[in-house]
Amino acid sequence: MPRKTMIDAIRDAMDVMMGRDDTVVVFGEDVGYFGGVFRATQGLQAKYGKSRCFDTPISELGIVGAAVGMAAYGLRPCVEIQFADYIYPAYDQIVSEAARLRYRSNGQFTCPLVVRMPTGGGIFGGQTHSQSPEALFTHVSGLKTVVPSNPSDAKGLLIAAIEDPDPVIFLEPKRLYNGPFDGHHERPVTPWSKHELGEVPDGHYTVPLGKAAIRRQGAAVTVLAYGTMVYVAEAAAAETRVDAEIIDLRTLLPLDLEAIVASVRKTGRCMIVHEATLTSGFGAELSALVQEACFYHLEAPITRVAGWDTPYPHAQEWDYFPGPARVGRALLETIEP
């Protein structure tokens, strides 16, 4: 099976879908000739032409607004926002138009739109290139929100997202773009470096939206994580020797609550790890759901480990991230309160 980086896998997913379906179009800032700031679309314009893969003005509102119109009239746009931090000008189009189109038209129109965006820190990008805004999208009815943690899932999830009849927010962790890591390396990820590669099947396949994956079996505590934090949680469990069961959510909305509940009822404890700020982060929703579904099975309070409640701190980036040491301490406190 070929071994690829997440960037390679994401490009492969778009290539597969553009080859299978003439209605799939890819566009955004610098995604055509240049191949995108992280080179995720490199070569697609040369292969499919400027009408299928093209550059846009620097206007996120315009990119998503045009994509909503295209989707309503039969195309399947897969657009790139250069960084998740740039999504805010387009938020109104996503929330007020894309997410509501099916409902406000009573099903006469749908919006098969994918909005891809690099998310999270790890490239020393500071406040305007490092945010994790997933909770802003999971709050919106009518959207699906996806965060892959490895190349194989990234390809399968992106193909499933492009084929989905409704809008999907596809968040790509920048620290994982060039391959999974061991949870420790404090290194910037650049589009020109190559690290450990993941096995990625050739051709068309999907990873279903709304299905989590158990990355590590355990009996002492359930750890809920997604994206980069899956590897941090694995490193912390290995260091502390805590028998943790680590669930990679993969899709935040729809959420695989069945898998979460089954694990927490087995372990009796739950810890949630995410890179975004703690207050009103997606971990708060996870905590509420676990409390409601597993109250009589919990043997300790639910623990959350997250980024600081501050604007993104460039100089303290690697302290801001929940790292193995901080996650490890929380693991030990959770099983021995």
**Residue 204 is a catalytic residue:** no
**Cα separation, 284 vs 281, whole angstroms:** 6
The phi and psi torsions of 108 (rounded to 5 degrees) equal -70, -30
**Cα separation, 178 vs 176, whole angstroms:** 6
**Cα separation, 257 vs 255, whole angstroms:** 6
The phi and psi torsions of 275 (rounded to 5 degrees) equal -80, -25
For tokens 């490199």, name the residue.
42
CB count in 10 Å sphere of residue 53:
25
CB count in 10 Å sphere of residue 172:
24
**Cα separation, 107 vs 112, whole angstroms:** 13
Query: Measured between alpha carbons, how far is residue 148 from residues 17, 79, 108, 158, 242 in Å?
Result: 18, 17, 31, 9, 25
- Which residues are registered as beta bridge partners of 244? 221
Q: Which amino acid is at 307?
A: G
Residue 179, C-beta contacts closer than 8 angstroms, at least 6 positions apart: 5, 6, 151, 194, 195, 196, 197, 198
DSSP assignment of 215-229: EE--SSEEEEE-TTH
Tokens representing residue 55 in the block? 């550059």
3-state secondary structure of 78: strand
How many Å separate Cα 73 from the centre of its chain? 27
- Which residues are registered as beta bridge partners of 221? 244
Active centre residues (catalytic): 129
